[in-house]
A and B are shown apart, each in its own frame.
Chain A
Amino acid sequence: MELKDVRKTYRKGPIEVPALRAINLRIAPGEFLAIAGASGSGKTTLLNIIGGLERADDGEVLVDGRDLQLLSSGELARVRLQRLGFIFQAYNLLPVLTALENAEFILLLQGVPVEQRKERVRKLFSEIGLAGLENRRPGELSGGQQQRVAVARAMVTNPALILADEPTAHLDSVTATALLDVMEQLNRAHGATFVYATHDPQVMERARRLIHLHDGQIESDVVQTGHVL
């Protein structure tokens, strides 16, 4: 995954707000990377562009060598379905589906046979402590459990990259730590690449690579000590 000279400016009438200015970034497989910065620094915009949810004004966004900027919206949807996983801040799940149905949603869209779907979801649920909660609807799960179901949904297709936009923003510190434990465990066990945005210093500490954004520019990009790459 590579971003080359990516720029994005939001326009509202005559007012122009630069969100990203000349971002250059390379993400290697298996990374556990946090993008930090104050509110308005461009974290969500960067994640949206990496995830093909939004197009940059300029630059290249390369996933597996393909420039997302050049793809049609249908092709982008296909890339999101096949190669990327998403975790949002909250309201991540479809309220009318059970935890299991939410987790297998993407597999179903991919056309994976029912037995394989169930098996993969159950295995993952048991790995991240959701066993027994398969038939509960989101409204019957705690915030932490809901976010773990979202992690399972993002992980279950073995995507090239999992993008999480402040996944712990609405969780208490204990639940947030537990969620990061799960993400880190999946990163180590399965080699899944995680890129998450946060402004919480405690969550930043958990990343092996930390990028600080300020006014749409990369202020720092460091590999954190105490972590083994």
Chain B
Amino acid sequence: MGALLLVKIGWRNLWRSPGGTLLTALALGLGLTFVLISLGLLDGSHEQMVRNRVRFGTGHVVIQAEGYQRTGSPELLLPAEVVSATETFLATDPMKRVSRGVSPRLLASGLLTSAANADGVRIMGVIPKDERAVSLIPQRIVEGSYLNDDQQSGVVIGAALARKLAVKVGGKVVLMIQAVQPPGKDATDAGRGEMKSALLRVSGIFRTGVQAIDAHIVQLPLSEAQSLLGAPDRITQVAVLLEWEGDSLKVAQGLRKQLAGVPAEIFSWREAMPSLAQIFLLEEAFNIVMNAVVLAMVGLGILNTILMRVLQRRFEFGLCLALGLRPRQLAVMVIGEALALTVISLALGLVLGLGVERYLATTGLDLRWFFQSSLPAALVFEPILYSSLSLTRIVSSVGIVFLTAIAISFYPALKAARTDLPGALKVF
């Protein structure tokens, strides 16, 4: 009863000093703005980083022979049919829209020798057309060109490796590799463990900015790699690239069902690259701490404003109690006032926060000024950060700020409800 009047009184009380109210609302709104911007940039940078890292690595989802993640043994291989089974699954209706590419790979270690030098390398046998759809390496060619599907004896190598071997595009290198025993073959098979070599011509040099890739990765056509390794129709992994990182778990689960009869392990990028996932968790934790500090400031701002207003209106509260208002109703009035202030603050914060977020999502935050001359030619991350804020993030941020403000207003409300009745009416 009279709740509307109490809210009306609370609302009008806010505008007794409009300057103070607006200033407080602006301060609190800026708190929400900060939270939205920091979350947007954090999520955006994560998305960019994931996009880059998964495209230099295993994709959003990777299918490997069981035990490969733990041992890295080149002998743990999958039959080529896994690729078609994967493609069939990703062509089904719910998955059609989420997939961007599938690339089968054969991985091994070997020795790459040039006329000048030799070095241990990580070999990736790939189907050039499929690898282009999944990996960033084809896009980071700085000299020559990437592999093409007709070329059998080409190889692309990293810039650091090219420098060490002193080879250029068109130069010849010899790749030495120890053949493996793929599952199903007899242990006494001729050729197992035998050293094989192939003369390859460098068709392109890439630079990713990641030393481990630029100094050690070489890519050559899958059929050539299979022949060298003595594993025809065998692959080490299938990398799947998705439109959106958030679908990784769903796709991994679907593939586990699809490939239930195959001795394969299927991981989302978080499982395949646990160190990256942990970095994100750490950043998320740091962000939570930062936002908690901002929330604490927002909360103290509301507490200070409402408490000051309550203390200044002791006589009014005494008057209301004398007239028959119950302490509980007084508390509702104060909470109503805090609620109104919070709503104004949130509205300001949303307008400012989403406005800036929109700008950062489209134009981006350019960090090139920060790197200046130290900016390498190719980066593992983008120098321009783009914000990416989901509706869930917005709703949860607004909800947390709202609940914090309301929870904090209970103290001044309690203070008002406990107004000492005869004492509050003594003003002279």
Contacts and interface: CB of A to CB of B under 8 A. Distances in A.
Q: Do A and B bind each other?
A: yes
Interface of A: 48, 51, 53-54, 73-74, 77-78, 80-82, 86, 88-92, 94-97, 101, 105-106, 108-109, 111, 153
Q: Is the interface of B mostly helix, strand, loop or mixed?
A: helix
Contact of A91 (B5, B12, B315, B322): B315
B260 interface: no
Interface of B: 1-2, 5, 9, 12-13, 16, 315-316, 319-327, 329, 421-422, 425, 427-428
Given A48-B422, A78-B324, A94-B319, 14 more contacts: A51-B322, A53-B322, A80-B323, A80-B324, A86-B322, A88-B319, A89-B428, A91-B315, A92-B319, A96-B9, A105-B323, A106-B323, A108-B2, A109-B5
Nearest to A74: B326
11 contacts: A51-B322, A80-B324, A82-B324, A92-B319, A94-B9, A95-B16, A105-B323, A106-B323, A108-B2, A109-B324, A109-B325
A105 B6 CA distance: 10
* Most chain A Cβ neighbours within 10 Å, of B9, B321, B323, B326: B323
A81 B329 CA distance: 13
B422 A54 contact: yes
B1 A109 contact: yes
A121 B325 CA distance: 19
Nearest to B16: A96
B326 A77 contact: yes
Nearest to B324: A81
Contacts of B319: 88, 91-92, 94
Counting from the closest, the 7 A-B pairs by CB-CB distance are A81-B324, A96-B12, A54-B422, A80-B324, A109-B2, A111-B1, A108-B2
Contacts of B327: 73
B323 A86 contact: yes
Contacts, number: 63
Nearest to A157: B324
A77 B324 contact: yes
A78 B325 CA distance: 8
Nearest to A45: B422
Given A109-B1, A109-B2, A97 B326 contact: no
A167 to B, nearest CB: 14
A81 B323 contact: yes
B321 A77 contact: yes
A54 B327 CA distance: 15
Contacts of A109: 1-2, 5, 323-325, 329
Contacts of A48: 422
Contacts of A77: 321, 324-326
Contacts of B1: 109, 111
A96 B322 contact: no
A90 B13 CA distance: 19
Contacts of B326: 74, 77
A73 B330 CA distance: 14
A81 B324 CA distance: 4
Contacts of A80: 322-324
A164 B12 CA distance: 28
A82 B326 CA distance: 13
A96 B422 contact: no
Contacts of A86: 322-323
Given A94-B9, A108-B5, A54 B421 contact: yes
* Most chain A Cβ neighbours within 10 Å, of B315, B326, B421: B421
A8 to B, nearest CB: 10
Given A97-B12, A109-B1, A91 B427 contact: yes
Contacts of A97: 9, 12
Contacts of A92: 319
Given A53-B421, A109-B2, A111-B1, A94 B322 contact: no
B144 to A, nearest CB: 78
Contacts of B316: 91, 94-95
Given A54-B422, A88-B425, A108-B2, A94 B325 contact: no
Contact of B324 (A90, A95, A106): A106
Contacts of B315: 91
A137 B145 CA distance: 81
Contacts of A108: 2, 5
* Most chain B Cβ neighbours within 10 Å, of A80, A88, A94, A101: A94
Nearest to A96: B12
A73 B5 CA distance: 22
Nearest to A166: B428
B205 to A, nearest CB: 75
A55 B321 CA distance: 15
A94 B321 contact: no
A9 B324 CA distance: 25
A53 B320 CA distance: 12
Contacts of A81: 323-325
Contact of A53 (B13, B16, B329, B425): B425
Contacts of B325: 77, 81, 109
A53 B9 contact: no
Contacts of A73: 327
A167 B65 CA distance: 93
A51 B325 CA distance: 14
Contacts of B329: 109
Contacts of A51: 322
